[in-house]
Chain A
């Protein structure tokens, strides 16, 4: 069976029904008390469409998109697992969706209880004292955590001195970016055999270090077995240890950030706890903190007084707010459903199955491409496509060729310490049949001719996309599109985008 993605010549919305160019739709509508100066003089140029037109347009677009229900997504560090339908159903209940964050507390006891319960459950999973659900995403949680570290050292009178954040060269890009936003300088610690080089960490760490940020297992798919020594080194230097929870899916029920000695951690609920990725978001970035940093968590905290839940702002050390509201509640609910469904043993089994999938696949794919690091991996592993370069084939070509097989490509060119790297993660929701099918697809792809690989993909809605042209021409909205012809526009539709007046 050969995979073929839908290929619709689907024009952008405004070409379906070119917007009216009348001078105004503003002053025709009475607005009590608003001066004419304030009124919109140019009509909003957006099409008036019927529901069937909209439904067909977006259904066609959806058919030109991979999703977890159309194909496996072996993206390393992204934990693309199946998103249960029951969570979707429950998140849409009026009791969840039709609740305004500014309603009086006695009308939102259910929402507060759900947040309270999930925070407690995540505290147990992480082994940390308190959890806040306020951050909107993982990077947002990282940023909040670093602000907490900042505030902590400020209270100690050491902020002027502790200006540096250390991180391994395998760290996710968000780590150094968050550290820089929080006003720290960053310094990378080189890895040895894919793990933190403890000697180099000891050399680099000093009284200037505020925090060491670590993912464990790391992005090479390896568990940092020196973690106890790392934690001791960091703490003896008076610094904080930060856990990037992107890879938590590997260790639930086996270890935890708290047990490993981390002081603060973020979790991506859209990874480990199966909330949908939504084409790039929304996510949810739960933030856990140990004893020293817990007082600095964002406010409000959800607290309980006898049987009544309330929003607690009386946290004098708190960093304050990092977003409007109390977090992505709709996603929190889904994560709660996921934890409740799995329970203690189920979560532990999730990690076992994810690690088994990864080792099985690493073993089989290791026959095609070299694995630069250790035999035993956790939830993901890295291959190097460097040898393909001899035939003029890049890892990117292999990734595009895999798309033609109807499977998503792995993460490519990360981590950067491996030349031409592919980072592969098949979470527990993928069956052995799915893994074997991926191995077969990989086999076909890697043994295809170099020319075919370079010309891939052929079976998708478009061929290889010219990203260089995109960056050079910068057509970023419909206004920019006016001079570009629409190739093969169907009959009856304009061949060019109507120019805005």
Chain B
């Protein structure tokens, strides 16, 4: 090929790169054969202890669930896995239809009109929702629950900083854990609030009844609800209680936790706001012969057309994870999804009941209702130490709700607990026994 170009060597291909910017060796080492690479990676991964080796009570927005084999088998089909963004609709009807089905499912779960074809994760979806609110309502303050996971607060701060938007925290009732409605009323009356976010379940795992009345309290100020898709199989769709935007984290539908990525950002809005929506959208239309066909649509919102005036900078999204989402929901089916949520709730309540009254713990920390996850308070000691001691007894007992970005720690530490799908009654008994041993007074388990 070099010869056909009349070039003496590969070097001639880089004649336009000045000497001053040439590099010598990168220092990467020699290439390896496939068995060598597999051995290297397996050796590294052997230093992990997969969650399924423990009694697993880790949750938050990311879940360990059983994934039906059909999900991975179908997302592994190379026509989906290795395809590019479906900008050429005629060559991409398969992915486009799958994404249309995904959009339809989030519309159904959220109770809103229009869903996009995915964002990076639940936290960035909340960030994009905040920016959408600002496009449809004036103001410079966005209200979020103080109980929102610290990671999401940090991401929201970063999505607002460029436009000078401030994220303010709604206090919670110290007993019930629910939103302080009077505080919200007062702040909204100041007239500088352009949006309010509530999460379901919230960062403490609570299902807060105040969220159902929030829209009537804030009036024309847009309401964003960040909701868990599994919870939405049994709870009222946020669109029905006035949410203007519904976002969520979709990893639990079809993806393993994979140390936190890839995840899946879900986002839906009202039809009247569709032109302000970030991200790709698939629409149904017809081909030249009148056959139903699908295509990306309203691309004039997007960065490759609108550049600095786009609704978002997002280009690459999470298409394959969106496909996994719709595959998971379809293979489990709506009835068994609702039953799964009920089972997780039963386990969480069984564990909370068994832990209730144990010395050194306050369980549940808050009195508002919860589904499959709850928060407990450690009377003394730090959460990380407690969790390490629980781990030594074979229990992934939950995660600390402390914000590592806040230098000053105050008050007793909180631990978030969410039984995984695999956790059974034996695991629950083991959890309770481990807590008794861990928190027992004496040299072994003191603060």
Interface size class of B (residues with CB under 8 A): 35 or more
A232 CB to closest chain B CB (Å) equals 11
- Asked if A463 is at the interface (CB within 8 A of a chain B CB), the reply is yes
Task: Name B388's closest neighbour in chain A (CB-CB).
Answer: A104
* Known interface pairs A177-B313, A403-B91, A476-B114; A38-B21 also in contact (CB < 8 Å): no
Q: For the complex, give the distance between the alpha carbons of A443 and B187 in Å.
A: 67
Q: Which 5 A-B pairs have the closest CB atoms?
A: A325-B260, A278-B320, A343-B31, A95-B45, A183-B162
Chain A residues with Cβ below 8 Å from B237 are 40, 42
Q: How close is B289's CB to chain A, nearest CB, in angstroms?
A: 5
Contact A104 B346 (CB under 8 A): no
B303 touches A278 (CB 8 A): no
- Tell me, yes or no, whether B176 is within 8 Å of chain A by CB: no
Asked if B84 and A46 make an inter-chain contact with CB atoms under 8 angstroms apart, the answer reads no
A355 touches B14 (CB 8 A): yes
> Contact: A481 with B284, CB < 8 Å?
yes
How distant is the Cα of A412 from the Cα of B314 in the complex, in angstroms? Answer: 20
**B105 & A46 in contact (Cβ 8 Å cutoff):** yes
- The reply to whether A344 and B27 form a contact with Cβ atoms under 8 Å apart is yes
B204 to A: closest C-beta gap in Å = 14
Q: Which one of B263, B298, B318 contacts A325 once the chains associate, using CB atoms below 8 Å?
A: B263
Closest chain-A Cβ to B423's Cβ sits at a distance in Å of: 13
A residues in contact with B76, CB < 8 Å: 88
Q: Is B141 an interface residue (CB 8 A)?
A: no
A322-B155 CB under 8 A given contacts A48-B333, A121-B28: yes
Contact B101 A173 (CB under 8 A): no
Give bound CA distance, A285 to B316, whole Å. Answer: 10
A65 to B99, CA, bound (A): 13
Report whether A281 and B154 are in contact in the complex, using a CB–CB cutoff of 8 Å. no
| B residues in contact with A5, CB < 8 Å | 91
Interface of chain A residues 22 through 43 with chain B (CB within 8 A): 25-26, 29-35, 37-43
Chain B, range 1-33, C-beta contacts under 8 Å to A: 1-2, 4-5, 7, 10, 13-18, 20-23, 25-32
**Are B262 and A142 in contact, with the CB atoms below 8 A?**
no
| Listed A/B pairs (23) with beta-carbon separation below 8 Å | A29-B234, A31-B234, A39-B236, A41-B236, A46-B105, A65-B83, A65-B95, A103-B49, A107-B391, A110-B48, A140-B124, A177-B308, A180-B162, A183-B164, A223-B17, A323-B124, A324-B151, A324-B152, A326-B260, A344-B29, A374-B16, A403-B90, A464-B90
Indicate the member of B25, B77, B115, B330 with the most A CB atoms within 10 Å: B330
- Check: A176 CB closer than 8 A to any chain B CB: yes
Q: Which residue of A lies closest to B75 (CB)?
A: A278
Pick the contact of A35: B72, B292, B369, B388 (CB < 8 A): B369
Among the listed B30, B79, B334, which residue makes an inter-chain contact with A343, where contact means beta carbons less than 8 Å apart? B30
B45 touches A110 (CB 8 A): yes
A290 to B291: give the CA distance in the assembly, Å: 54
Closest to B122 in A: A324
CB distance from B419 to the nearest CB of A (A): 13
Contacts of B310 in A (CB 8 A): 173, 177, 180
Q: Which residues of B contact A178 (CB under 8 A)?
A: 313
Known: A98-B257, A100-B58, A255-B21. A67 touches B313 (CB 8 A): no
Which single member of B4, B40, B52, B388 contacts A94 (CB below 8 Å)? Answer: B52
Which of chain B's residues has its CB closest to A403's CB? B91
Interface residue ranges of A55-75 to B (CB < 8 Å): 55, 58-70, 73, 75
> How many angstroms from the CA of A54 to the CA of B72 in the assembled complex?
12
Contact A98 B21 (CB under 8 A): no
B364 nearest CB across to chain A (Å):
10
State whether the Cβ of A369 lies closer than 8 Å to any Cβ in chain B. Answer: no
Stretch at the interface among B191-199, B337-345, B437-445: B337-345
Contact present for B283 and A61 (CB under 8 Å)? no
A106 to B282, CA, bound (A): 43
- How far is A466 from B249 in the complex, measured between Cα atoms in Å? 33
Say if the beta carbon of B157 comes within 8 Å of chain A: yes
- Name the CB-closest residue of A to B114: A476
Residue interface mask A393-435, B partner, CB < 8 A = 1? 0000001100100001100001000000000000000001000
- Does B410 interact with chain A (Cβ within 8 Å)? no
B290 touches A344 (CB 8 A): no
Q: Which of A146, A173, A261, A470 contacts B303 (CB 8 A)?
A: A173
Q: Decide yes or no whether B431 CB sits under 8 A from chain A.
A: no
- Residues of B near A65 (CB, < 8 A) are 79-80, 83, 86, 91-95
- Give complex CA distance A12, B282 in Å: 13
Question: Which residues of chain B are within 8 angstroms of A223 by Cβ–Cβ distance?
Answer: 16-17
Is the CB–CB distance between B295 and A31 below 8 Å?
no
Asked if A368 is an interface residue, CB under 8 A from chain B, the answer is no
The answer to whether A111 touches B31, judged by C-beta atoms less than 8 angstroms apart, is no
Q: Are A70 and B78 in contact (CB under 8 A)?
A: yes
A329 nearest CB neighbor, chain B only: B259
Q: Give bound CA distance, A476 to B17, whole Å.
A: 48
Contact present for A10 and B41 (CB under 8 Å):
no
Contacting residues of chain A (239-280) with chain B, CB-CB under 8 angstroms: 251-256, 259-261, 268, 270, 276-280
CB < 8 Å neighbour of A477 from B45, B114, B290: B114
Give Cα distance in the complex from A341 to B29, angstroms: 10
B81 interface residue per 8 A CB criterion:
yes
| Structural contact, B297 and A356, CB atoms closer than 8 A | no
Given contacts A255-B22, A479-B107, contact A113 B236 (CB under 8 A): no
- Residues of chain B within 8 A of A102, CB atoms compared: 58, 60, 62, 399
- Hey, which chain A residues are within 8 Å of B122, CB to CB? 324
Kindly supply a per-residue 1/0 record for chain A positions 452-464, scoring 1 wherever the CB is within 8 Å of any chain B CB and 0 otherwise. 0001010011111
A131-160 CB mask vs B (1 if < 8 Å, else 0) is 000001111101110110010000000000
Q: How far is the CB of B429 from chain A (nearest CB, A)?
A: 19
Report which of B16, B131, B233, B258 forms a contact with A44, defined as CB distance below 8 A.
Answer: B233
Bound complex: CA A54 to CA B7 (Å): 53
Which residues from 35 to 80 on chain B have a C-beta closer than 8 Å to any C-beta of chain A? 37-38, 40-42, 44-52, 54, 56, 58, 60-62, 64, 68, 70, 72-74, 76-80
Instruction: Please state if B249 and A324 are interface contacts (CB–CB under 8 Å).
Output: yes
Expressed in whole angstroms, the minimum distance between the Cβ of B316 and any Cβ of chain A is 4
Contact across chains for B31 and A342 when beta carbons are under 8 A apart: yes
> Quick check: B342 and A69 within 8 Å, CB to CB?
no
Q: Is B147 an interface residue (CB 8 A)?
A: no
Q: Report the minimum CB–CB distance from B288 to chain A (whole Å).
A: 4
Please give, as numbers and ranges, the residues of chain A lying within 8 Å of B234 by CB-CB distance: 26, 29, 31, 34, 39-40
Among B117-137, those with CB < 8 Å from A are 117-118, 120-124, 131
Residue of A nearest to B320 (CB): A278
Q: A100-B259, A150-B162, A222-B16 are in contact. List 16 more A-B contacts (CB 8 A).
A: A29-B234, A64-B97, A90-B45, A109-B47, A110-B47, A111-B48, A136-B262, A255-B17, A276-B82, A280-B280, A324-B122, A324-B152, A341-B32, A363-B5, A465-B293, A478-B107
Q: Are A44 and B259 in contact (CB under 8 A)?
A: no
Please measure, in the bound complex, the distance between the C-alpha atom of A455 and the C-alpha atom of B359, giving whole angstroms. 77
- Is residue A319 contacting chain B, with contact meaning CB distance below 8 A? yes
What is the bound-complex CA distance between A488 and B258, given in angstroms? 43
State whether A322 and B77 are in contact (beta carbons under 8 Å apart), knowing that A64-B93, A110-B46, A477-B104 are contacts in the complex: no
Q: Is A441 an interface residue (CB 8 A)?
A: no
CA of A187 to CA of B274, assembled, Å: 28
Task: Give the docked Cα–Cα distance between A146 and B274 (Å).
Answer: 27
Residue B161 at the chain A interface, CB threshold 8 Å: yes
* Interface 9-mer from B178-186, B214-222, B321-329: B321-329
Contact B47 A113 (CB under 8 A): yes
Distance in Å: Cβ of A153 to nearest Cβ of chain B: 13
Which residues of A are found within 8 Å of B1, using beta-carbon distances? 356-357, 360, 432
Inter-chain contacts of A345 with B (CB < 8 A): 30-31
* Chain A residues with CB below 8 A from B291, complex form: 462-463, 487-488
- Per-residue B-contact encoding for A334-370, CB less than 8 Å = 1, 0 else: 0011011111111100001001110110010000000
B91 and A103: CB pair below 8 A? no
B121 touches which of A97, A136, A346, A403 (Cβ 8 Å)? A136
Assess whether A469 is in contact with B387, with CB atoms less than 8 Å apart. Answer: no
Distance of A390 Cα from B388 Cα, bound (Å): 73
User: Known contacts being A97-B256, A100-B58, is A124 close to B28, with CB within 8 Å?
Assistant: yes
